[in-house]
Structure 1
């Protein structure tokens, strides 16, 4: 508890110092002010002067803020906000300070005109005659938490929810679908609840959840792709064969060697939602194992640095091939995986991804 109070105090002091750095802004922590009873619950008062206009900021400090908590916080803040009694009295504004405020929570706060500040330096304040909006990258703690949600086994849970976005899941069933432990599934559901992307029904062990905002979740995943480093992929050239025939030959060789795989990128998207006049390259997700090299030798695939018509995306877990489907005697990655892989491709990959999402995914 002491550590929490110290962190809040430090964040409030940083907020005041950041205000002082702005042009035509004066700010001072108001420790000794005689506060009315309704204002004593706030963590701090800040005397603020912006371009000659005076305000009192009533500061509420929190550890972290997500959309799920925002509406209740806004109602609570407004219930406690004192009414303006005269034109001469300095206007009182409520402002929320937190170590982390999620992007969705910030958007809701701005829509409601409630000010905020986070440890990353983002600031919003709107009042008659004064408007301040500074948008900075999320603080490292929030960025790390979100990044973890979209990687590893947690990403498998998101994948399952997106692929079966019309279904209701209990924790155990979802864990089974995603090939993860119930604890991991439960952690992911708790995080998604904070963003208000889930609907729920029932209580206790029989509680079920349903992804009601699949588009928002997929958009958030796309944003995370931009922040991750591109993997260096093994590239090969197979002589004397076109991409469609190469895909079928690749499937035959991998299956004869019992290699688990799934075609992705343009070669897979073209089969599910045609867009290009022709595909010049085959990309496949391949489960790493001793038989992979033997299969590539059978295929007469020659490693190259340019001019490749075959690219291998090495994966280490069966979870990386979740929800692959059999189409025309070839295994294809799930539509969600194909879409995400297209966004990381070259050439017309991003253009094809937009078409594929509209035609095949639909949200």
Structure 2
């Protein structure tokens, strides 16, 4: 294959590295890599594209392999490379990026930058993400395109493009034909990971400060005052985690999404907060089209972002964001 030949050329251009592809050299191996006084048989898996949608399946296969696995792909996202490297899976892509960590041998080569290309597929960001979230939040349901579009608040054409892409990735399965055709989510974990990978943060953030005896009192007061002011909102971040899947952690800042038509300065006045440039304990956030408010839920009188959106938001915390997000996924999301 053209791609495999190119990969062999790249590897053989590395000084003191030899690659043998004779299957008879080591039983069951696709190739043997020699270098730095070592000889390592490897299993090779070739893919057209590797991203969050299929990376976990590759990792699962690699864990069952009797020898190190190297994945060769024409296209591979940075997130997929990192996930595979963390599990000891080698990667080589069509841009010349190489990550091999074999017994006694470490190879890392940075390839060329990807060429900009016209966006033709429905990436799971912005309005498209509403389709993904709808399916994730009701993962056992099968959908007509029109029903899914209406539920997500998007056009049938956009819903169809998203479903078509997810079908191509084998994340969604189809049943029936014509007007009766329905789609069902069959790989929720893959869809969730793909959405997380393709999400783009377009938020506007407004820091503020309010006096409060405790952070929990602060969160309750902010939400109560927003409700009284008639502002559509949803609590997010660590304060929301504490209500959905409690974890032992501090809550230095209360984060809240506001509807796009709200004026943050006016909202601060209405809830008794002062706008600040440093040291905030409240952060008001807005995003075009109010996507973060989609599928919000109410718990004990407080509006919260949906659990999938909450995962996205808490990951931004540079302190314990990854830990909190992993905890939420395990305890409340489930895939």
> Scaled by the length of structure 1, what TM-score is found?
0.64
Answer yes or no: is the 8 Å Cα contact 2:208–2:268 preserved in 1.
no
Alignment partner of 1:234 is 2:223? no
Check 1:133–1:306 CA distance in 2 against 1; reply closer, same or farther (3 A cut). closer
Shift of 1:330: 1.1
Residue 79 (structure 1) aligns with? none
Residue 331 (structure 2) aligns with? 359
Shift of 1:171: 0.2
Answer yes or no: is the 8 Å Cα contact 2:133–2:308 preserved in 1.
yes
1:264 aligned to 236, 251, 256, which one?
236
Residue 163 (structure 1) aligns with? 137
Show CA shifts across 1:177-223 (max 9, x none).
Answer: 11101100000000101111112211111111111111111122233
Shift of 1:174: 0.4
Check 1:136–1:158 CA distance in 2 against 1; reply closer, same or farther (3 A cut). farther
Shift of 1:276: 2.4
Residue 101 (structure 1) aligns with? 49
2:150 aligned to 176, 199, 211, which one?
176
3-state SS of 1:180 partner: coil
Pairs within 5 Å for 1:167-206: 167-206=141-180
Residue 298 (structure 1) aligns with? 270
3-state SS of 1:284 partner: strand
Show CA shifts across 1:270-298 (max 9, x none).
Answer: 11111125533210111122454322112
Alignment partner of 1:120 is 2:95? yes
Check 1:19–1:358 CA distance in 2 against 1; reply closer, same or farther (3 A cut). closer
3-state SS of 1:280 partner: coil
Alignment partner of 1:321 is 2:293? yes
Check 1:121–1:316 CA distance in 2 against 1; reply closer, same or farther (3 A cut). same
Structure 2 distance, partners of 1:258, 1:353, is 30
Residue 252 (structure 1) aligns with? 224
Answer yes or no: is the 8 Å Cα contact 1:259–1:292 preserved in 2.
no
Check 1:167–1:261 CA distance in 2 against 1; reply closer, same or farther (3 A cut). same
1:221 aligned to 171, 195, 207, which one?
195
- CA-based RMSD of the aligned residues comes to 4.0
> Scaled by the length of structure 2, what TM-score is found?
0.69
What residue ranges of structure 2 are gaps of 5+ in the alignment?
24-44, 63-68, 76-93, 100-106
2:127 aligned to 153, 169, 175, which one?
153
Shift of 1:164: 0.9
Answer yes or no: is the 8 Å Cα contact 2:54–2:190 preserved in 1.
no
What residue ranges of structure 1 are gaps of 5+ in the alignment?
1-10, 26-49, 56-94, 125-131
Structure 2 distance, partners of 1:249, 1:53, is 67
Check 1:319–1:23 CA distance in 2 against 1; reply closer, same or farther (3 A cut). closer
Residue 75 (structure 1) aligns with? none
Higher-Rg member (1/2): 1
